[in-house]
């Protein structure tokens, strides 16, 4: 299968936000090639296919992580957040603006607190 | 009317109680006050959940609220109040009297951060110490305190009077960094020492420092000596060096900074300047720690390789100025100890002439995290740049812990 090419991708790593990145993705072989990206940005894109990345939702049952459906995992996460006394949504760094917007809507709905690495 | 609030248990999650305000308590019955709502997390509860409410038989002219006990986990007490009086016999939480317009608050204890933030009138008196941002502007605002008066009998923290445009702040003890930053009016009096960059970026207003100034901002010009100052009808005795600034921010600044002559001669006679306390001690140095990403470190962590030997080699290191490195006896390894001396970590020592003397650099990593304290100056992140550590040499060989070993050591 030929590689899919994604052009004009914005790098999520640092504040420079380079937006001319090319990502070549082979879904079958689980391979990624990146172009126009620096030494710090490249590994971030390659992490998408890295073997240590957790790709399925898991819930700890009887002290052990068990693979579950997305439906079950999302319900569980919603239950934890809805019952929290002080929900904190720590949105981290290297996250897209679109994901931040979703996080903020969730925090507003829950009456929670939003924070990220870049708070000043 | 006089209302006495006695705190019940210390709340586990801080409560937001802007309803503790004489304007709101006025003309209300005991039951009405008890049912006022305060926020805790996403929920509201009646005030009686956290306080016993009692209307005292005393009947002063102004509405007076007396809080008998520690309310360190209660925020926004007296926020936006315009009249009356609040007396707190204990320590108090953040945002005390923020945006206050009038009346009086007295604290017989310590206050946390943001005392009188952006206040416009009234008086706040703290008979203990205060935290950071006394009278200052809030995030995103250029305008701090506009009017009124804050008196702190003890010490205060960082950013006192940031961006104030009016009013008066009297700190009888010491202040930490950036006191009066971006000041554009008003008056700040410091009875003790000012740690770093006092008055930096000020364009108007007055600051008087009666103790020693360390790390003076470079944009001030000496403008002669004045004796016995008279500011806002307060006479301050002694001989003062007068500075105008900050020329770094404005061509014609009108900010005036007075520094007591006998303690600050070094500001006009450089050879008398004592910039540092002696940071070297027998067996080590007390250094200013800066951390930061290195490119290689970024490549490793973003590629998810934190459990590799490469990560240890790149990040479990402490860069030291060659003179300090020599003072430590050119050790192969050093112990870096946190400022509170509760945590330490062993790192490989590397001399590096690109650093300033008295400072060390550790790549921002799990090894640096061990010795950085949780203090955040009300921000989302601890002081990854500019906290203090003790650096002491290790004799001979030492074991460097891996990222995994550190996690197991801390979390078991």
pLDDT tens digit string along A9-32?
999 888 888 999 999 999 999 999
Phi, psi dihedral angles at B169 (to 5 degrees): -120, 120
- Give the tokens for residue B91: 């320590």
Q: Do A46 and B40 touch (CB under 8 A)?
A: no
- Give the tokens for residue B196: 């770093």
Is residue B150 pLDDT above 60, yes or no? yes
pLDDT tens digit string along B339-360?
999 999 999 999 999 998 889 9
Q: How distant is the alpha carbon of residue B79 from its chain centre?
A: 20
pLDDT band at residue B275 using 50, 70 and 90 as cut-offs: low
Interface residues on B facing A, Cβ-Cβ cutoff 8 A: 12-13, 40-43, 139, 293, 295-296, 298-300, 302-305, 379-381
Q: Distances from the Cα of B165 to the Cαs of B104, B196, B203, B221, B382, in angstroms?
A: 20, 21, 10, 22, 29
Is residue B378 pLDDT above 70, yes or no? yes
Closest-CA distance, A13 to chain B, in angstroms, reads 9
The per-residue pLDDT for B318 is 97
The per-residue pLDDT for A1 is 62
A-chain CB neighbours of B42 within 8 Å are: 86-87, 110-112
User: Stretch B373-377: mean pLDDT, rounded?
Assistant: 89
The per-residue pLDDT for B382 is 87
pLDDT band at residue B59 using 50, 70 and 90 as cut-offs: confident
Question: Are B52 and B5 in contact, with CB atoms under 8 Å apart?
Answer: yes
pLDDT tens digit string along B201-214?
999 999 999 999 98
The per-residue pLDDT for B401 is 94
Q: Do A117 and B302 touch (CB under 8 A)?
A: no
The per-residue pLDDT for A120 is 53
Average pLDDT over chain B reads 94
Closest-CA distance, A73 to chain B, in angstroms, reads 24
The per-residue pLDDT for A95 is 80
pLDDT tens digit string along A40-96?
999 999 988 988 888 899 999 999 999 999 999 999 999 999 999 889 998 877 788
Its sign, for the CA torsion B150, B153, B157, B158, is positive
Question: Are B277 and B226 in contact, with CB atoms under 8 Å apart?
Answer: no
Q: Do B42 and A111 touch (CB under 8 A)?
A: yes
User: Stretch B365-369: mean pLDDT, rounded?
Assistant: 94
- Does residue A39 sit at the B interface (CB-CB below 8 Å)? yes
Strands B359-363 and B284-292: parallel
Closest-CA distance, A39 to chain B, in angstroms, reads 6
pLDDT tens digit string along A5-14?
999 999 988 8
H or E element: which one contains A82? helix A70-82
Is residue B161 pLDDT above 60, yes or no? yes
Is residue B121 pLDDT above 80, yes or no? yes
Pick B304's closest partner by Cβ from A50, A94, A111: A50
Q: How distant is the alpha carbon of residue B116 from its chain centre?
A: 14
β-partners of residue B267 are: none
Residue B155: count other Cβ atoms within 10 Å of its Cβ. Answer: 21
Question: Are B51 and B93 in contact, with CB atoms under 8 Å apart?
Answer: no
What distance in Å separates the CA atoms of residue B300 and residue B136, rounded to the nearest whole number?
40
Cα dihedral angle (A74, A79, A85, A89), rounded to 10 degrees? 10
For A36-46, letters b (16+ CB in 10 Å) and e give: ebbebbbbbbb
- Does residue A62 sit at the B interface (CB-CB below 8 Å)? no
Query: pTM to 2 decimals?
Result: 0.87
Residues 6+ apart with CB under 8 A from A64: none
Residue B30: count other Cβ atoms within 10 Å of its Cβ. Answer: 12
Q: Do A40 and B40 touch (CB under 8 A)?
A: no
CB pairs < 8 Å spanning A and B = 58
Q: Is the peptide bond before A90 cis (omega within 30 degrees of 0)?
A: no
Better-scored residue on pLDDT, B386 or B87: B87
Task: State the alpha helices, DSSP H only, in B328-396.
Answer: 366-371
Please tell me which residue of chain A has the smallest CA distance to B376: A120
For A88-117, letters b (16+ CB in 10 Å) and e give: ebebeeeeeeeeeeebeebbeebebebbbe
The per-residue pLDDT for A70 is 96
User: Stretch A98-108: mean pLDDT, rounded?
Assistant: 91
Closest-CA distance, B344 to chain A, in angstroms, reads 24
What distance in Å separates the CA atoms of residue A93 and residue B302, rounded to the nearest whole number?
12
Residue to mutate among A16, A43, A55, A87, with most B CBs inside 10 A, is A43
B-chain CB neighbours of A84 within 8 Å are: 41
- Does residue A80 sit at the B interface (CB-CB below 8 Å)? no
The per-residue pLDDT for B276 is 53
């Amino acid at each position: 299968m030929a590689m899919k090419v994604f052009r004009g991708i914005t790098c999520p790593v640092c504040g420079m936000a380079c937006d001319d990145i090319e990502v070549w993705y082979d879904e079958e072989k689980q391979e990624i090639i990146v172009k126009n990206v620096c030494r710090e940005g490249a590994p971030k894109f390659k992490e998408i296919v890295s073997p240590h990345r957790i790709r399925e939702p898991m819930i700890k049952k009887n002290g052990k992580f068990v693979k579950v459906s997305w439906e079950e995992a999302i319900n569980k996460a919603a239950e934890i957040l809805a019952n929290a006394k002080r929900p904190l949504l720590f949105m981290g760094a290297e996250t897209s603006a679109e994901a931040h917007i979703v996080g903020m809507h969730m925090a507003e709905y829950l009456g929670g607190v939003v924070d990220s690495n870049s708070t000043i | 009317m006089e209302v006495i609030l006695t705190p019940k248990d210390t709340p586990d999650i801080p409560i937001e109680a802007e309803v503790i305000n004489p304007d709101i308590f006025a003309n209300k019955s005991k039951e009405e006050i008890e049912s006022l709502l305060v926020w805790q997390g996403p929920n509201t509860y009646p005030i009686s959940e956290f306080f016993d409410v009692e209307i005292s038989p005393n009947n002063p002219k102004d509405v007076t609220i007396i809080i008998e006990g520690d309310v360190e986990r209660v925020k926004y007490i007296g926020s936006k109040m315009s009249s009356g009086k609040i007396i707190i016999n204990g320590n108090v939480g953040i945002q005390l009297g923020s945006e206050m317009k009038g009346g009086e608050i007295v604290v017989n204890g310590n206050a946390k951060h943001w005392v009188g933030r952006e206040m416009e009138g009234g008086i706040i008196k703290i008979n203990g110490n205060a935290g950071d941002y006394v009278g200052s502007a809030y995030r995103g605002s250029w305008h701090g305190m506009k009017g009124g008066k804050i008196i702190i009998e003890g010490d205060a923290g960082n950013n006192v009077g940031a961006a104030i445009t009016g009013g008066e702040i009297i700190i009888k003890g010491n202040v930490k960094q950036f006191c009066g930053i971006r000041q554009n009016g008003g008056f700040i009096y410091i009875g003790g020492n000012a740690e770093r960059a006092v008055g930096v970026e000020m364009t108007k207003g007055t600051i008087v420092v009666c103790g020693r100034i360390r790390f003076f901002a470079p944009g001030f010009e000496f403008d002669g000596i004045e004796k016995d100052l008279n500011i806002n009808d307060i006479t301050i005795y002694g001989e003062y060096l007068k500075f105008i600034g900050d020329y770094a921010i404005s061509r014609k600044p009108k900010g005036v900074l007075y520094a007591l002559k006998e303690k600050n001669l070094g500001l006009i006679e450089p050879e008398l300047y004592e910039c540092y306390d002696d940071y070297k001690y027998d067996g080590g140095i007390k250094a200013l720690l800066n951390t930061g990403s290195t490119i290689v470190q970024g490549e490793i962590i973003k590629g998810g390789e934190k459990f590799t030997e490469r990560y240890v080699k790149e990040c479990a290191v402490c860069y030291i100025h060659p003179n300090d490195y020599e003072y430590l006896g050119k050790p192969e390894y050093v112990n870096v100890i946190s400022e509170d001396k509760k945590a330490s970590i062993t790192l490989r020592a590397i001399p590096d002439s690109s650093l300033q003397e008295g400072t060390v650099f550790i790549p921002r990593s799990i090894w640096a995290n061990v010795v950085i304290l949780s203090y955040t100056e009300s921000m989302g992140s601890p002081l990854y740049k500019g906290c203090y550590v003790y650096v002491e040499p290790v004799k001979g060989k030492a074991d460097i812990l891996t990222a995994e070993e550190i996690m197991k050591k801390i979390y078991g």
